[in-house]
Amino acid sequence: VAELRTELARTASLRAAVPDSSEAAPRSGTAVGRGSGADGDPESVLRVRIQGFPKRVERDVADLLEGTPGVHVTPTAPDQVVYVVVLQGCVYTHVQPAAERFAGKIGDAGRHEGTVVSRAYYKLREAVARGGLKLPAGGEWTGIDVGASPGGWSQYLAEAGASRVLAIDPGEVTVADPAVVHMAMRAEEAVPLLLAEGVTADVFVCDMNVPYDAAVSLLKLSLPLLRAGAPVVLTMKGFAVGKRKAEEERRLAVAALSEVLGAGEVVELHAMANRSDERTLVGHVPE
């Protein structure tokens, strides 16, 4: 933090000494922020936005940067962006001019704007990468996405090579991919129809906003459709209040999924795209 304060203060002093003529016009709107320059001329201070992971570190960093000479911490119209990531006991920081930052969030890097129908896309992509999942390679394979709307996870499976993705949800699915088949109904209605047609699926995913036991029940309902060894990804939405209850909820969720998967290993991830109270659970159908 001391190094951040020094770097930002130096940038602020340079800005004050050599003002950018392109910023001569007053900014529109009034930002709510903090910093030693917040009470002075808004054009004379360095406006800094903080982006952090986990999200809660943003407030902590803002508190620590308060009082830095010539710096105004604000989420709007920043001149500089401070990135802070706390991961596995290490703190990573980076300062970058706002004009050079990624368009949107970091997960959008390398993609054309507007090509992802939902931020959930990145949650599943990370689960596959970090959870040790091996999606079918080549050939025709089918994925089941329960609670698919608006279609982020279905889109990921289609782009990962699925020849067919059964997107089960009464809500709208907006994926423009011929591999995605929208079954506009509840899973309790869709599964019997698929069983009657003799459908076999190679991957099961569920990102529904329901308690963990409901998500696990939907997996149990779908098990007769899944081939042995099929990868499984569930989102455990946090409904418990309080840290101790939340930890107990996560323990019970992992145990419940492990039981359904025949005591198989369940990997619990706090993905970059997860909310603070969410976890992504990854496993496989027993061989």
Cβ atoms of residues 35 and 69 within 8 Å = no
Residues forming beta bridges with residue 73, ordered by sequence position? 34, 48
Segment 79-100, tens digit of pLDDT: 888 888 888 788 888 888 877 6
Asked if the model's pLDDT at residue 30 lies above 60, the reply is no
Mean pLDDT of the chain: 81
Indicate the burial class of 263 (C-beta count within 10 angstroms; 0-12, 13-18, 19 or more).
exposed
Cβ atoms of residues 280 and 234 within 8 Å = yes
Q: Closest by alpha carbon to 84, among 60, 111, 53?
A: 53
Token pair of 279 as six digits = 């976890």
* Nearby residues of 153 by Cβ (< 8 Å), 6 or more positions away: 118, 120, 121, 123, 124, 145, 205, 207, 233
Domains of the chain with CATH codes: 2-101 (3.30.2300), 120-284 (3.40.50.150)
Residue that wins the pLDDT comparison between 243 and 158: 158
pLDDT for position 3? 76
